Amino acid sequence: MKTITLLAQKGGTGETILSIHLATAAANRRYSVLTVDIDPQGSSFFWSQRRQRGFPGVVKYSIRELRKNMATIAREVDLMILDTPSHSSRGAGDVVSLLDFVLIPSRLTIHDSVKLVCEKGKSGAIVLNCCPPPGLFDETALVREACLALEVYKMPVSPVAISQRAAFSLALIDGRAVTEFEKKGKAAGEIKTLWGWIKKELANGEQSSINVVAC
């Protein structure tokens, strides 16, 4: 089993939305996926209650319940995606230690989550989230400038940036994900490409921990 977490130190960064869309993209590729929602707000879990399809699975756990059930989950699914609370917590470091892949969503900014991942000795890459949509031929100047600014962190930047698109939120209203809402839309294309890139990074890191930091 491979494990991914969405980790943010501040709210409003889109970690739950990304976790839902990535989990569904993986499930649509015939992966057995379980999303574990440890956020007290339970947004991923409530989304699953509106959903007509039985996949990906979503359960609501505390960190303690997650630890208790990790071995069972590992036997039953190919991929676990962890949706965490949007704030710092004493258990955040312990959660990071359990996982293979860490995504830290934020809106073109870097914050203390990067430090937390680095302190755990995890390798990393940066994925820009909630970006202005690219132009006809290239990314916007803001995204290019952000990539240059991120060089100070000595982490590679993912070739995929996730744009600010209405489809990401509209798809969730009736329990769908963007890859089902507009299968050939631009938002769906970004999520499919991001998942494809993550899958390759996980495969390349079979013998070590590889983590992605989404900023």
Write down the pLDDT at residue 215.
40
- 36 pLDDT band (50/70/90 cuts)? very high
Which residue did the predictor score with more confidence, 105 or 176? 176
Write down the pLDDT at residue 171.
96
Q: Does 210 have pLDDT greater than 50? A: no
Residues 6 or more apart whose Cβ sits within 8 Å of residue 21: 168, 171, 177, 178, 179, 191
For the chain, the C-alpha Rg in angstroms (whole number) is 16
Q: For residue 16, give the CATH number of its domain.
A: 3.40.50.300
Q: How many domains is the chain partitioned into structurally? A: 1
Q: Does 21 have pLDDT greater than 80? A: yes
Average pLDDT along the chain: 81
Q: What is the pTM of this model?
A: 0.81
Residue 50, both tokens:
């509106």
**What amino acid is encoded at 83 in this protein?**
D
> Of 51, 83, 84, nearest to 173 (Cα)?
51
Q: Does 181 have pLDDT greater than 90? A: yes
pLDDT tens for 92-148 read 666 777 778 787 776 655 555 666 666 766 656 677 888 888 765 566 777 777 677
155 three-class SS: coil
Question: Which domain range does residue 150 map to?
Answer: 2-214
Write down the pLDDT at residue 165.
93
Q: Residue 31 carries which DSSP code?
A: -
